[in-house]
């Protein structure tokens, strides 16, 4: 069972040969491809992380801009509403004043016309009564 | 010292002989000049090596960013090996040792599993039998001596002759133990692997001899598990020894705080 002979050194030589061959055809190419792959993966991971950061920054910027513009348009709407309100109330007030003025003028005119019509009527009543009197007196 | 377990031959009725026979210590000798080598070990080793090389070629023939099929499998193994080596040797210095630890792991793993999964018995050799190359002590000793050389190389390369300082580093009293460690390391490495694989194959062999069908299956599964664990243990310990040589006793704390 323990018979040592030339098998021993020859096995050692064979093993070293096997190691050289496997190093050339297995270990080197596989190590290269594994390391290349891990470099690639870590590179693309870094790239993806950077991209994600950029996306986050841009999203934040957009959100900020969105909030700003919302605030802006709200203030614009509020201003416009206030202005419109003001204009409307001004116009209403003016219209009301005009209406009141027109009514007053009309009332005044009406009163003047009434007076002149009354005067006319009185005059006519006077002349008519004069005529009646005259006709009556003529008959007498 | 050939040691036969032919004592189990009391079971040898003609029916059993064709199913299983246990042979330990019988080898299919090849003679190269004046040297003797174990042919069955080499045949099995060449098979294992060709499996590994073919798998590697298939994996890296058309290498792609998104792995598929064989590349995926071998990348899984590669990740496992890199992780193991990094855990043992540390982030800074593990890279140059990946091929060594990785080849150790893959070679031992495929050897062990080939012994458990491939019906070598169907191929008849004139003498001895094909089995996992790791159940021959020559293989395991060769591997563990390579590990010893590797960690000495690592130590000397990092610290030059200062590497010897680690023998007397905490206290010179431990010098004999430190020296002894350099012998026990390869010894324990090689015998652990050799013993586990040989014992596993023997247990399966004996069980197959006694009860040919189904009963040995759980033991075979256990054998697969043991084989995988032994490959892992060998590679892990090799990494740990190299790490120890690189670190030394002195700057261990420095490293921890760094």
What pLDDT shows up at residue B54? 93
Which among B27, B32, B102 has the least Cβ separation from residue A27?
B102
Helix-strand-coil percent breakdown of chain B, rounded to 5?
75, 5, 20
State whether B25 and A3 contact (CB < 8 Å): yes
> What residue spans define the domains of chain A?
29-102
Q: Measured between CB atoms, does A8 come within 8 Å of chain B? A: yes
Q: Phi/psi of residue B168, each to 5°?
A: -115, 15
* Count of domains forming chain B: 1
Residues of chain A in contact with residue B75, where contact means CB-CB under 8 angstroms, are 30, 33-34
Which among A4, A5, A22 has the least Cβ separation from residue B99?
A22
Residue to substitute from A27, A43, A44, interface B, most B β-carbons within 10 A: A27
Which position has the token pair 């993966």?
Answer: A41
Instruction: Point out which residues pair with B31 in neighbouring strands.
Output: B36
Q: Is the confidence at residue B19, as pLDDT, over 50?
A: no
Which among B24, B37, B100 has the least Cβ separation from residue A7?
B37
ipTM over 0.90: no
Residues 6+ apart with CB under 8 A from B22: B5, B6, B8, B202, B205, B206, B209
State whether A26 and B146 contact (CB < 8 Å): no
pLDDT band at B97 (very low <50, low <70, confident <90, very high): very high
Distance of CA B254 to the CA centre of its chain: 33
pLDDT band at B23 (very low <50, low <70, confident <90, very high): low
B111 near B224, Cβ under 8 Å?
no
State the average pLDDT over residues B166-174.
80
Q: Is the confidence at residue B197, as pLDDT, over 70?
A: yes
Residue to substitute from B4, B37, B133, interface A, most A β-carbons within 10 A: B37
| Spans of chain A, pLDDT less than 70 | 1, 139-140
- Does residue B1 belong to any structural domain of this protein? no
State whether B49 and A14 contact (CB < 8 Å): yes
State whether B38 and A34 contact (CB < 8 Å): no
Tokens representing A2 are: 């323990």
Which among B3, B32, B45 has the least Cβ separation from residue A6?
B32
Show the domain range for B132.
Answer: 6-257
What pLDDT shows up at residue B27? 78
C-alpha span between B155 and B203 (Å, rounded): 40
């Amino acid at each position: 069972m323990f018979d040592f002979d030339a098998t021993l050194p020859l096995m050692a030589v064979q093993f070293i040969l096997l190691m050289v061959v496997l190093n050339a055809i297995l270990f080197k190419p596989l190590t290269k491809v594994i390391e290349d792959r891990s470099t690639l993966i870590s590179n693309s991971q870094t790239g993806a992380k950077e991209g994600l950061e950029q996306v986050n920054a841009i999203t934040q910027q957009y959100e900020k801009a969105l909030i700003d513009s919302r605030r802006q348009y709200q203030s614009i709407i509020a201003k416009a509403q206030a202005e419109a309100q003001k204009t409307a109330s001004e116009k209403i007030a003016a219209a009301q004043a005009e209406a009141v003025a027109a009514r007053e003028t009309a009332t005044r005119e009406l009163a003047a016309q009434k007076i002149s019509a009354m005067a006319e009527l009185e005059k006519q009543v006077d002349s008519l009564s004069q005529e009646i009197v005259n006709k009556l007196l003529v008959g007498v | 010292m050939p040691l036969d377990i032919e004592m189990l031959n009391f079971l040898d009725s003609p029916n059993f002989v064709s199913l299983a026979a246990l042979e330990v210590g019988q080898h299919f000798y090849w003679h190269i000049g004046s040297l003797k080598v174990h042919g069955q070990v080499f045949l099995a080793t060449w098979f294992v090596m060709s499996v590994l090389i073919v798998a590697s070629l298939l994996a890296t023939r058309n290498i792609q960013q998104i792995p598929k099929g064989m590349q995926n499998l071998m990348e899984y193994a590669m990740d496992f090996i890199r992780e193991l080596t990094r855990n043992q040797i540390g982030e800074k210095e593990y890279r140059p040792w990946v091929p060594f630890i990785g080849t150790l792991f893959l070679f031992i793993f495929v050897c062990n599993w080939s012994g458990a999964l491939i019906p070598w018995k169907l191929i008849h050799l004139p003498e001895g039998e094909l089995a996992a190359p790791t159940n021959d002590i020559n293989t395991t000793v060769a591997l563990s001596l390579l590990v010893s050389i590797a960690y000495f190389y690592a130590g000397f390369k990092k610290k030059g002759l200062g590497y010897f300082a680690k023998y007397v580093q905490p206290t010179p009293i431990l010098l004999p133990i430190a020296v002894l460690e350099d012998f026990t390391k390869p010894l324990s490495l090689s015998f652990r692997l050799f013993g586990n694989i040989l014992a596993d194959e023997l247990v399966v062999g004996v069980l197959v001899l006694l009860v040919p069908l189904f009963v040995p299956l759980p033991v075979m599964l256990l054998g697969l598990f043991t084989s995988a664990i032994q490959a892992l243990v060998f590679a892990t310990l090799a990494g740990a020894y190299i790490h120890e040589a690189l670190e030394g006793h002195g700057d261990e704390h420095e490293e921890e705080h760094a």
